[in-house]
Structure 1
Amino acid sequence: MRLHDFLPPHTAAARGARELVAQFHSSALSNHVHRSWLWAEAFALVEGRTGIDHELLYTAALLHDIGLAPEYDNHVLGYEEAGGFVGEALAAGAGWPATRRRRVNEVIVRHNWPSVDPDLDVEGYLLETATGLDVSGRRDEEIPVEFRREVLAAYPRLDLADEFGGSVRTQSERKPHSHARRLIDGGLIGKLAANPLERL
Structure 2
Amino acid sequence: MSNFIADIKIPDSKLAVEAAELLREHGDDLLWNHSNRVFLFAAMKGNLNQIKYDPELLYISSLFHDIGLTPKFRSDDKRFEVDGANAARDFLKSRGVPEENIRLVWDAVALHTTIGIVEYKEAEAALMNFGVGYDVVGKNFDLISTEAREQIVKAFPRDSFKHKILHAFLEGFKHKPETTYGTINADICEMLLPGYKRPNFCQSVLHSRWDE
TM-score over 0.5 for the pair: yes
Count of equivalent residues: 187
| 1:10 alignment counterpart | 12
Partner Cα distance (2:177, 2:190) in 1? 16
* TM-score normalised over the length of structure 1: 0.84
1:99-134 Cα offsets, whole Å, 9 max, x none, are 221221111112111134555321111011110010
| 2:50 alignment counterpart | 48
Partner Cα distance (1:87, 1:44) in 2? 22
Q: SS in structure 2 opposite 1:40?
A: helix
Corresponding position: 1:185 with 2:187: yes
Judged with a 3 Å threshold, the aligned counterparts in structure 2 of structure 1 residues 163 and 140 are, in CA distance, closer, same or farther, namely same
Corresponding position: 1:25 with 2:17: no
Partner Cα distance (2:190, 2:85) in 1? 21
CA RMSD for the aligned pairs?
Answer: 2.4
Considering only CA atoms, is the larger Rg found in Structure 1 or Structure 2? 2
| 2:199 alignment counterpart | none
1:35-86 Cα offsets, whole Å, 9 max, x none, are 0000000110122212x12111110001110001011111111111000011
Bigger proportion of residues as helix: 1
Counterpart of 1:24, as a letter, is H
Contact 2:166/2:188 (8 A) holds in 1: no
Counterpart of 1:86, as a letter, is A
Unaligned segments of structure 2, at least 5 residues: 192-212
Shift, 1:92, TM fit: 1.3
Contact 2:112/2:118 (8 A) holds in 1: no
Higher mean displacement: 35-44 or 115-124: 115-124
Higher mean displacement: 36-45 or 9-18: 9-18
Corresponding position: 1:105 with 2:106: yes
Out of 37, 62, 66, the position equivalent to 1:35 is 37
Shift, 1:143, TM fit: 0.5
Partner Cα distance (1:98, 1:180) in 2? 29
* TM-score normalised over the length of structure 2: 0.79
Judged with a 3 Å threshold, the aligned counterparts in structure 2 of structure 1 residues 12 and 92 are, in CA distance, closer, same or farther, namely farther
Q: SS in structure 2 opposite 1:67?
A: helix
Higher mean displacement: 33-42 or 89-98: 89-98
Judged with a 3 Å threshold, the aligned counterparts in structure 2 of structure 1 residues 11 and 66 are, in CA distance, closer, same or farther, namely same
Contact 1:76/1:175 (8 A) holds in 2: no
Unaligned segments of structure 1, at least 5 residues: 190-200
Contact 2:93/2:102 (8 A) holds in 1: yes
Partner Cα distance (1:169, 1:176) in 2? 12
